[in-house]
Amino acid sequence: MESNRQKKIAGILQKDLAEVIQLELKAAGVQNLIISVTKVRVTPDLLQAKAHLSIFPSEKSEKIVEEIRGIKPKIKHEIAQRTKHQLRRMPELSFFNDDSIEYINDLEQAFKGQNDPIKNPDLLDKRKKN
């Protein structure tokens, strides 16, 4: 169970990460993307934060997450500047692709009968835990 402090820090990071990632990717020349930070989990010692990113269009999501991991030092520095009065120490950031929206869309298609997982069980991948 998360403490109130963990939740507060996760909320601060979630808001700032969304803005900083958009700015850094624009500066790197990446265009036509919608990126949202769907969830941030902070460890109880407040030293690590896992950010789950939802990227549209989803075909580029793995490539974009790799790019974001590549510019992590810039992102971490910018977040540290923004949160210097709220955090004593900046948590180490980890980025993960959140494909839950894509998964929900696949389920929705299956319910509508467009992609029937009973006839073709390969349509619904096994979910991986991060």
pLDDT digits (tens, 9 = 90+) for 25-75: 888 888 788 888 999 999 999 999 999 999 888 888 889 899 999 999 999
Cβ–Cβ contacts within 10 Å for residue 109, how many?
A: 15
Domain of residue 116: give its range.
100-130
Q: Which residues contact 42 (CB under 8 A, 6 or more apart)?
A: 2, 6, 9, 10, 13, 48, 49, 91
On the question of pLDDT at 5 being above 70, the answer is: yes
59 and 93 co-located in one domain: yes
| Strand 48-56, strand 34-42: pairing | antiparallel
47 and 24 co-located in one domain: yes
Instruction: Return the pLDDT at 39.
Output: 94
Tell which residue, 1, 79, 80, has the closest CA to residue 41: 1
* Tally of structural domains, the chain: 2
pLDDT confidence band for 100 (50 / 70 / 90): confident
Largest CA distance in the chain: 56
Global pTM?
A: 0.75
Q: What rounded mean pLDDT belongs to the chain?
A: 85
42 and 58 co-located in one domain: yes
